[in-house]
Amino acid sequence: MAWDFSTEPEFQAKLDWVSDFCKNEIEPFSLVFPYAVRSKNPKVKAMVKELQDQIKEQGLWAIFLDRELGGPGYGQLKLGLLNEVIGRYPAAPQFFGAAAPDTGNMELLAAYGTDEQKERWLKPMLNQELWSAYSMTEPQGGSDPKLFKTYAERDGDEWVINGEKWFTSAGRAADLLFVMCTNGIFIVPRETPGVEIMPEPRSHNHIKYTNVRIPADHLLGPEGDARTLAQRRLGGGRIHHAMRTLARCELAFDMMCERSLSRQSHGKIISEHQMVQEKIADSYASIRMLRLFVLETAWKIDQSSTAETRTDIAAVKFTMAKVLREVSFNALHILGSLGTTDLTPIQAMYASAPTMGIADGVDEVHKATVARNVLKGYEPHEGLWPTEYLPAKREAARAKFEPLFEKDPELRKIAEGYARFAAARR
């Protein structure tokens, strides 16, 4: 029987290097040069390259890709542990070439793209020469593909796309839009005529596609297989997202513990107040349970596939949003008025918590998925009473021992004595 909660020393050394590098190099750099990875300034680009070269020397570039797709092939469990470290620092994913939404789009290109598509788009994306967005959800149907209307019609050597997409994260800043249509996923350069990015929202864009013409070879994978590609993209991605969310929870927890030992209220250090202790204890337990759940789910994916682990992946998705909501709320309260400002990460963390319950599909949908899948493993009981109805179980147990009682009447009397005693207690 194998049951292990440890990390092998070699990989732990890798995690320690990532932690030190993020804390001592990436965080200070990003505080002085925010959004540096996308900077056009040659001096800033040179400094970014110097940092990224160190990451590449460690074999930690594009960590999300499997070995057969050109990446290090760490598997979901090790990826989860890496993302737990990287997720603590907002700028770190881009420095490691592992920031959403590019990661999922690159994974799709690596898995389903033609050699020409990989040469044209995947290599520049891996080199951070091109940036992408995933254009999936729609105003009338959210993330439910059964309600999507955006469609690509074949016209000679071209596809013509018409439809409307809502909440395309980073669409305005993307070079390429991966557009999920009812009949496939298509790669659309953002500057293509007919692509109209609406003024609002600013970060998660509303995009209209009106007679958008793209060459026939811009279809990614087989026609009509959009949902299969989408599930491939979202499955493992939710685990990475969960571990980065966990990292934010751990950061919030560290901040609340530090603050609770540093401030006084009503004549006491606030850590001595029971309501503060309750928040710390509840947060600690929630974080530990979430971490084990996410890592177990990652391990299951490594042992099988995202398809076979879809129930746990869905449960992880809505659980991480719940834990982030609770822990960031507790941290905000313990920090007091400071927690409501933008002078610490807490306010942004708490403000992002509701979005976490909506992004990649609303929590309610994932809960319904979990319930349906779990219930497939059960059957309705026969008759009026459930399987664990104790009077029926006692009767069945008595029937099992009846042959023994017939051989030994004294034993029957002992059993009847127990039965009378139990009945009196009830």
Phi, psi at 58, each rounded to 5°: -85, 0
Judged against a pLDDT cut of 90, whether residue 71 lies above it is answered with no
Question: Token digits for 349?
Answer: 């963390």
pLDDT tens-digit map of 103-154: 989 989 998 999 999 999 999 999 999 999 999 999 998 888 889 999 999 9
What is the C-alpha to C-alpha distance for residues 203 and 198, in angstroms, rounded to an integer? Answer: 11
pLDDT tens-digit map of 251-282: 999 999 999 999 999 999 999 999 999 999 99
Judged against a pLDDT cut of 70, whether residue 234 lies above it is answered with no
Residue 235 — very low, low, confident or very high, per pLDDT cuts 50/70/90? low
pLDDT at 228: 79
Nearest to 216 by CA among 126, 109, 114: 114
**Three-state secondary structure call for residue 202:** coil
pLDDT tens-digit map of 277-318: 999 999 999 999 999 999 999 999 999 988 899 999 999 999
Q: What dotted CATH number matches 9-113? A: 1.10.540.10
CATH topology of domain 132-220: Butyryl-CoA Dehydrogenase, subunit A; domain 2 (2.40.110)
User: What stretch(es) of the chain map to CATH 1.20.140.10?
Assistant: 227-375
User: What stretch(es) of the chain map to CATH 2.40.110.10?
Assistant: 132-220
CATH topology of domain 227-375: Butyryl-CoA Dehydrogenase, subunit A; domain 3 (1.20.140)
pLDDT at 179: 97
User: What stretch(es) of the chain map to CATH 1.10.540.10?
Assistant: 9-113
**Three-state secondary structure call for residue 361:** coil
Q: Is pTM beyond 0.75 here?
A: yes
